[in-house]
Amino acid sequence: GQQLNQSPQSMFIQEGEDVSMNCTSSSIFNTWLWYKQDPGEGPVLLIALYKAGELTSNGRLTAQFGITRKDSFLNISASIPSDVGIYFCARGDMRFGAGTRLTVKP
């Protein structure tokens, strides 16, 4: 199938640090989505991207749709303890990346 790679797998950071994660697909898609999942709950949509080159923010979160339409990036600025969770990217065919597990140390 068409590959979807998300990295890094996990991150351990200090409170206040910035975070960056990305997803890369082997094929072009018209949509990239970013979700956060807390333990035992369903993922919650953070940011949706529909145009190549689009840069969208949601509070401290910023996501970009890569110009090649094969990748996307999520940045979290000034992390806080409640940012802890698993972050997933998803592309237009509703396939999800393996997730980035974020731990924030106070």
Contacts with another protein, residue ranges (CB under 8 A) = 1, 6, 30-31, 33, 35, 40-45, 48, 50, 88, 90, 92, 94-99, 101
Q: Is 18 helix (H, G, I), strand (E, B) or coil?
A: coil
C-beta of 33 vs 102, nearer to another protein: 33
65 Cβ contact list (under 8 Å, min separation 6): 32, 49, 50, 51, 52, 53, 54, 55, 72
Quote the least distance from Cβ 75 to another protein, whole Å: 20
- Token pair belonging to 106: 């106070």
> Least distance to another protein from the beta carbon of 82, Å?
19
Q: Which is nearer to another protein, 94 or 106 (CB)?
A: 94
Measure the CA–CA gap between 46 and 39, rounded to whole angstroms. 16
Closest to another protein by CB, 84 or 98: 98
